[in-house]
Amino acid sequence: MSTELRIIPITGIGEIDPDADLGTLIYEALQQQQLTLQTGDVLVVTQKIISKAEGRLVNLDDVEPSEFAKTFAERYEKDARHVEVVLRETKRIARMDRGIIISETYHGFICANAGVDESNVEGGQFLTLLPVDSDVSASTIRSRLQQLNDEERPIEIAVIVSDTWGRAWRNGQVNMAIGVAGMEAMVDYRGQRDAYGYELRASMIAVADELSAAAELVMGKVDQVPVALIRGYHYSPAAGTVHTLTRDSATDMFR
Amino acid sequence: MSTELRIIPITGIGEIDPDADLGTLIYEALQQQQLTLQTGDVLVVTQKIISKAEGRLVNLDDVEPSEFAKTFAERYEKDARHVEVVLRETKRIARMDRGIIISETYHGFICANAGVDESNVEGGQFLTLLPVDSDVSASTIRSRLQQLNDEERPIEIAVIVSDTWGRAWRNGQVNMAIGVAGMEAMVDYRGQRDAYGYELRASMIAVADELSAAAELVMGKVDQVPVALIRGYHYSPAAGTVHTLTRDSATDMFR
């Protein structure tokens, strides 16, 4: 049975230092909003604050660009050091055209510039890289929240790390999951039947991506809302991993 | 300022006949749930009930497959009549491999099987096609709801038509917008600056897709929830069209 969903912006988390304890910061922010975690809650956390807390920052002054990076950067009026960092985070280039690099990252994600970002980091001479393993980042935050929640048994919650990415064929970006802990990232309806008894064809739903997209709607881009609490969604508890959602290259027709 | 979002499943709409007045059916379903439309509400409606109401059904018995459809169907153990209908809805085939057809439709969408679907239609010998113009479908529902709402001035609401599609590079499907009325499908943050004064890079957000994805979370697949009401999202009122989100082939690196 489907019930109403609430998506609550979590504010007041403030600036994130390297080695910040994000679980504790999120817990304190929830308390400030008079929110108590409940079984079934999903927290969506943006990649930016995780990359900062995990020190996934590169100072552009420390980067020596390769000739390849220099040539590409010059042709498209980009910063060669930035291009160099993108290349270092890239396992394989899926497309490289019109100044755009679509990377396959070492995580197995396909995204623009290997997820390297320049906005929103103090000083402006720094780039943020994606977390090394966002499943671990999500799991760490989840464990800390369970610990701080101070129940007799750990509360059943899920944590998703999200980033804002473009898509093939569609303009604009949406939030997608890059790390998952505490829930199945995918819901599998295969074998289930609709109201007429027919087996469902559209049957594997990437719910972690949908939860990430839903969370973005309360985050905005300039509002400093790095976390959203989703309440009322009935997920399947599991260890969880985003790699349920990363398509294997053997079955990918667009790589 | 970001506020809490509510996503409310709308149930009790029941079976849809050709020529059904969806706006009226949705209005009655809202009333049954004691819901009164408010300015700023977004209604997300699944493609399936719109295709049914608009008579976008094909009886497989009426389809004579081409040789091309027959050969492909035989190779991959598919129904040649189904393949034929997919081909008729396809302007251009983007990929055709392992029994999968990724179509560019006449609307400019890229999706599997041109959006032709067999599940959830009575009798089982019928296929549903995408609406001819889902922007018009959305606009028609919106106007009817405004009319029935019986205010002195038409209430400001938005309507999105959504369908469940796969993506390149990612496993699983998510709901995306295929028709929009009453709001900008995209939010443009270009030129805005973050808390440090830096111009935002990730700056065009496909909010109609995110609202569609969010709505899917209360719809499920077997629960008969064809409509969701999203309350608390601050969109930009506009005539609106999904074609803001369909990437032009000239700028598409994956077509």
Query: What average pLDDT does this structure show over A224-234?
Result: 95
Instruction: Locate B16 and state its tokens.
Output: 């849809």
| Beta carbons of B245 and A170 less than 8 Å apart | yes
Q: Is a pLDDT exceeding 60 seen at residue A211?
A: yes
| Beta carbons of A172 and B209 less than 8 Å apart | yes
Q: How far apart are CA B207 and CA B242, in angstroms?
A: 11
Q: Is a pLDDT exceeding 70 seen at residue A83?
A: yes
Band (A15; pLDDT cuts 50, 70, 90)? confident
B30-35: long-range pairs with CB below 8 Å, 24+ = B30/B229, B33/B8, B35/B8, B35/B10, B35/B229
Q: What is the pLDDT of residue B71?
A: 95
Q: Is a pLDDT exceeding 60 seen at residue A100?
A: yes
Instruction: Locate A249 and state its tokens.
Output: 């290259």
The amino acid at residue A11 is: T
Comparing CA positions, the residue from B34, B10, B12 lying closest to residue B219 is B10
Task: Assign a CATH topology to domain B6-55+131-245.
Answer: 60s Ribosomal Protein L30; Chain: A; (3.30.1330)
B89/chain A closest Cα distance in angstroms: 18
Q: What is the pLDDT of residue B160?
A: 98
Domain(s) of CATH 3.90.1660.10: residues in chain B: 57-128
Output the 3-class SS for A167-216. Answer: CCCECCEEEEEEEEECECCCEECCCCECCCCCECCCCEECHHHHHHHHHH
Domain(s) of CATH 3.30.1330.100: residues in chain A: 6-55+131-245
Q: What is the pLDDT of residue A3?
A: 87
Which of A102, A122, A198 is nearest residue B196 as measured by Cβ atoms?
A: A122
* Alpha-carbon torsion, ordered A22, A27, A28, A31, to 10 deg: 160
Q: How far apart are CA B251 and CA B219, in angstroms?
A: 33
Query: Each residue's pLDDT tens digit in chain B (255 positions)?
Result: 568 999 999 998 988 999 999 999 999 999 999 999 999 999 999 999 999 999 999 999 999 999 999 999 999 999 999 999 999 999 999 999 888 999 999 999 999 999 998 755 565 588 999 999 999 999 999 999 999 997 777 899 999 999 999 999 999 999 999 999 999 999 988 777 666 665 665 589 999 999 999 999 999 766 689 999 999 999 999 999 999 999 888 888 887
B247-255: long-range pairs with CB below 8 Å, 24+ = B247/A168, B247/A169, B247/A170, B247/A171, B251/A98, B252/A168, B252/A169, B253/A95, B253/A97, B253/A100, B253/A102, B253/A168, B254/A95, B254/A168, B254/A169, B254/A254, B254/B168, B255/A168, B255/A169, B255/B94, B255/B104, B255/B110
DSSP state of B152: S
ipTM summary value: 0.94
Q: What is the pLDDT of residue A202?
A: 57
Q: What is the pLDDT of residue B222?
A: 65
Tell me which chain B residues have a C-beta less than 8 angstroms from the C-beta of A224: 195
Contact A67, A206 (CB under 8 A): no
Q: How far apart are CA B209 and CA B186, in angstroms?
A: 9
| Beta carbons of B173 and A245 less than 8 Å apart | no
A-chain residue closest to B230, CA distance: A5
| Beta carbons of B213 and A210 less than 8 Å apart | yes
| Beta carbons of A205 and B214 less than 8 Å apart | no
Which of A202, A207, A216 is nearest residue B210 as measured by Cβ atoms?
A: A216
What pTM did the predictor assign?
A: 0.95
A124/chain B closest Cα distance in angstroms: 8
| Beta carbons of B205 and A173 less than 8 Å apart | yes
Band (A122; pLDDT cuts 50, 70, 90)? low
Q: What is the pLDDT of residue A251?
A: 81
The residue ranking higher by pLDDT, A100 or B1, is: A100
Q: What is the pLDDT of residue B199?
A: 60
Q: What is the pLDDT of residue A123?
A: 58
pLDDT, tens digit, for every residue of A173-210? 999 999 999 999 999 887 776 666 656 655 899 999 99
Tell me which chain A residues have a C-beta less than 8 angstroms from the C-beta of B92: none
Tell me which chain A residues have a C-beta less than 8 angstroms from the C-beta of B122: 196
| Beta carbons of A6 and B1 less than 8 Å apart | no
Q: Is a pLDDT exceeding 90 seen at residue A73?
A: yes
Band (A2; pLDDT cuts 50, 70, 90)? low
Name the superfamily (CATH) of residues A57-128.
Answer: CofE-like domain (3.90.1660.10)
| Beta carbons of A4 and B244 less than 8 Å apart | no
Tell me which chain B residues have a C-beta less than 8 angstroms from the C-beta of A1: 223
Q: How far apart are CA B182 and CA B240, in angstroms?
A: 5
